[in-house]
């Protein structure tokens, strides 16, 4: 029988001058996370799910706490299942966004008829997990008729307000996110700020533009949508807002190949992460689903059988890249490497940089991903380190006494 093995891709940073640091000291895992739905959709493969989290270095996840399951006939069983999942996240030092969403039964799944019952449910769940989960999200895509009826800011207002109150009553230190709005929906979000601006700590948003990218690789709908939302709405109501992107992905259906999905994510996710008003990005989703809707069922980074898709290997690598930064495309790296070479030759002379090919990759990483200026790299080559650290970025390392001492010395004076 063929066994599924997740191969841990370990990026070894060549430490010419200093010992390497553990993944726990890196920060990219603080920015990019994964939608898991472990309790609802991956509980049949607990060991492999936990291996995925460990091997990829995932440090943030989004987990759906489904009202219908948690308030149904098998409430005790579902609570036990969520207890297990939350305990495993905690054991692996993974932080959780708990999404609290939907009605208590099939007939009212996408609406809340009893706000009091909804508030009591939210308070019960937050109270149960307040020592493990510090970020809660109230509902999902309320601007879509698929997830809230009626899909208006006015209908969403009491759900968000009562949910916010329940979270804060149970855990005053918790952070409350709005539901992820299904796209940069300016009208809905502006009205939500007006009606509910004091009942959520951060705006959450979803980004699904892969079909547009498939039609036109130069399409800028995602970029334009985010920019227009920020300029027209965010700056008006909360200029210091840090948006959480709680879903961003690409479904491999309708002619969209796994390679194209990988290409799309590699291109668009770094753009979103680099925006100053974005806090975190949660990719959607860990595993292909089984709903009968081909679009909804094919967002997984692994298949239903838990086989990795191309995007899995990219996700596996981004949390472990140089200085924990997203890698550029090779051609872009080459341009900056030549820029560095030219700058260093002004110190050492044409073709005379005293460094091996192996160690050259390390200084290139320090320049491209660590932000080190050429004078610091030149002195590091001359002094065997001191002014460049292979895992700590320049913005931090330049504040150390070691850097300040050695950067002042000029070994190139004639």
Q: Is the pLDDT of residue 332 over 90?
A: no
By CB atoms closer than 10 A (0-12, 13-18, 19+), residue 109 is middle
Residue 146 resides in a domain: yes
Q: Are residues 304 and 164 in the same domain?
A: yes
Q: Are residues 287 and 399 in the same domain?
A: no
Identify the DSSP state of 23: G
Of residues 17 and 133, the one with the higher pLDDT is 133
Q: Is the pLDDT of residue 103 over 70?
A: yes
Q: Are residues 287 and 353 in the same domain?
A: no
Q: Are residues 256 and 349 in the same domain?
A: no
Domain boundary among 272, 296, 324: 324
Residue 19's pLDDT band, with cuts at 50, 70 and 90, is very low
Q: Is the pLDDT of residue 165 over 80?
A: yes
Q: Are residues 111 and 64 in the same domain?
A: yes
Sign, CA torsion 122/123/126/129: negative
Average the pLDDT over 301-322 and give the result: 89
Q: Are residues 344 and 365 in the same domain?
A: yes
pLDDT for 317: 80
For 179-189, write each residue's pLDDT tens digit: 999 999 999 99
Task: Map residue 101 onto helix, strand or coil.
Answer: strand
Q: Is the pLDDT of residue 68 over 90?
A: yes
For 218-234, write each residue's pLDDT tens digit: 999 999 999 999 999 99
Residue 8 resides in a domain: no
Residue 17 resides in a domain: no
Q: Are residues 81 and 193 in the same domain?
A: yes
CA gap 363, 337 in Å, rounded: 9
Q: Is the pLDDT of residue 257 over 90?
A: yes
Average the pLDDT over 85-98 and give the result: 96
Mean pLDDT, all residues of the chain = 90
| Torsion, CA 300, CA 303, CA 307, CA 309, rounded to 10 | -50
Average the pLDDT over 320-343 and give the result: 81
Of residues 26 and 230, the one with the higher pLDDT is 230
pLDDT for 329: 62
Q: Which of 383, 390, 373 is nearest to 406 (CA)?
A: 383
Residue 373's pLDDT band, with cuts at 50, 70 and 90, is very high
pLDDT for 20: 31
Q: Is the pLDDT of residue 330 over 80?
A: no
Residue 65 resides in a domain: yes
| Torsion, CA 114, CA 116, CA 121, CA 124, rounded to 10 | -170
Residue 327's pLDDT band, with cuts at 50, 70 and 90, is low
Q: Which residues lie closer than 8 Å to 3 by C-beta, 6 or more apart?
A: none
Q: Is the pLDDT of residue 325 over 70?
A: yes
Residue 14 resides in a domain: no
Of residues 413 and 279, the one with the higher pLDDT is 279
Q: Are residues 238 and 365 in the same domain?
A: no
Residue 298 resides in a domain: yes
Q: Are residues 341 and 310 in the same domain?
A: no
CATH number of the domain at 107, please.
Answer: 3.20.20.80
Domain boundary among 270, 304, 324: 324
Q: Are residues 212 and 290 in the same domain?
A: yes
Residue 12's pLDDT band, with cuts at 50, 70 and 90, is very low
Q: Are residues 165 and 211 in the same domain?
A: yes
Average the pLDDT over 315-341 and give the result: 80
The proportion of the chain whose per-residue pLDDT surpasses 70, expressed as a percent, equals: 91
Residue 278 resides in a domain: yes
Range of the domain at 374: 330-407
In the chain, the largest separation of any two C-alpha atoms, in whole Å, equals 83
pLDDT for 413: 74
pTM of the model: 0.76
Mean pLDDT lowest among 5-19, 258-272, 290-304, 366-380? 5-19
pLDDT for 1: 38
Residue 182 resides in a domain: yes
Q: Count how many domains the chain has.
A: 2
Domain boundary among 324, 357, 384: 324
Of residues 55 and 220, the one with the higher pLDDT is 220
Q: Which residues lie closer than 8 Å to 122 by C-beta, 6 or more apart?
A: 100, 136, 138, 162, 163, 166, 167, 170
Q: Are residues 261 and 374 in the same domain?
A: no
Please count the residues of the chain. 414
For 298-308, write each residue's pLDDT tens digit: 999 999 999 99
Q: Is the pLDDT of residue 388 over 70?
A: yes
Average the pLDDT over 81-103 and give the result: 97
């Amino acid at each position: 029988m063929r066994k599924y093995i997740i191969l841990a891709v370990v990026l070894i940073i060549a430490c010419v001058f200093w010992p390497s640091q553990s993944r726990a000291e890196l920060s990219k895992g603080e920015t990019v996370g994964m939608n898991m739905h472990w309790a609802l959709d991956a509980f049949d493969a607990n060991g492999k799910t936990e291996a995925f989290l460990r091997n990829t270095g995932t440090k943030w996840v989004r987990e759906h706490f489904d009202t219908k399951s948690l308030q149904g006939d098998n409430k005790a069983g579902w609570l036990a299942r969520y207890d297990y999942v939350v305990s495993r996240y905690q054991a692996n030092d993974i932080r959780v966004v708990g999404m609290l969403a939907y009605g208590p039964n099939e007939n009212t799944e996408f609406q809340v008829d009893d706000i009091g019952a909804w508030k009591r449910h939210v308070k019960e769940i937050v109270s149960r997990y307040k020592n493990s989960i510090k970020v809660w999200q109230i509902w999902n895509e309320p601007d879509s008729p698929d997830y809230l009826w009626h899909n208006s800011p006015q209908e969403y207002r009491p759900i968000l307000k009562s949910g916010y109150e329940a979270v804060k009553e149970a855990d005053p230190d918790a952070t409350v996110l709005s539901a992820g709005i299904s796209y940069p929906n300016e009208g809905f979000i502006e009205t939500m700020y007006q009606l509910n601006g004091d009942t959520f700590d951060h705006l959450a948003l979803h980004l699904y533009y892969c079909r547009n990218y498939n039609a036109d690789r130069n399409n800028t709908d995602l970029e334009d949508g985010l920019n227009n939302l920020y300029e027209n709405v965010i700056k008006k109501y909360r200029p210091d807002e840090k948006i959480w992107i709680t879903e961003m992905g690409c479904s491999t259906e309708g002619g969209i190949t796994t390679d194209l999905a990988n290409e799309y994510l590699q291109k668009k996710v770094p753009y979103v992460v680099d925006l100053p008003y974005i806090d975190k990005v949660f990719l959607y989703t860990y595993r292909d689903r089984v709903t009968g809707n081909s679009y909804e069922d094919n967002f997984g980074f692994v298949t239903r059988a838990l086989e990795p898709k191309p995007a899995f290997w990219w996700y596996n690598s981004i949390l472990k890249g140089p200085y924990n930064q997203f890698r550029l495309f090779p051609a872009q790296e080459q341009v900056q490497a030549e820029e560095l070479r030219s700058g260093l030759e002004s110190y050492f002379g044409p073709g005379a940089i005293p460094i091996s090919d192996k160690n050259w990759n390390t200084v290139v990483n320090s320049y491209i991903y660590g932000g080190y200026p050429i004078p610091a790299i030149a002195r590091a080559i001359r002094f065997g380190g001191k002014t460049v650290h292979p895992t700590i970025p320049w913005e931090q390392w330049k504040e150390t006494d070691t850097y300040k001492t050695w950067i002042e010395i000029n070994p190139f004076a004639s």
